[in-house]
Structure 1
Amino acid sequence: MKAPAAQERGYDAGKKVVGRKRHIAVDTNGKLLMVNLRPADIADSTGAIAVLEALQKRWPGLKHFFADGAYDRRALMNKAATLDFVVEVVRRHEDQFGFAVLPRRWVVERTFGWMVRWRRLVRDYERRTDVSEAMVYIAMGGLLLRRIAHP
Structure 2
Amino acid sequence: MVDPEAVGVCSELMRKQLMGSDVKGNQCRLMLVKNEAKKMMLRVFEKTERGIGTDGLKVSVYGQDGEVYEMMLKMWNKNTVPVLTSSVWNKFVGDYGLMKHSDFLTIWMFRHIESRKICFAIDSKRFTSITKKLSSRISKLVFD
TM-score, reference length from structure 2: 0.31
TM-score, reference length from structure 1: 0.30
Query: Which of structures 1 and 2 has the larger relative contact order (alpha carbons within 8 angstroms, sep 6+)?
Result: 2
Q: Which structure carries more helix by proportion?
A: 1
Rg (Cα) greater in structure: 1
Q: Which structure carries more strand by proportion?
A: 2
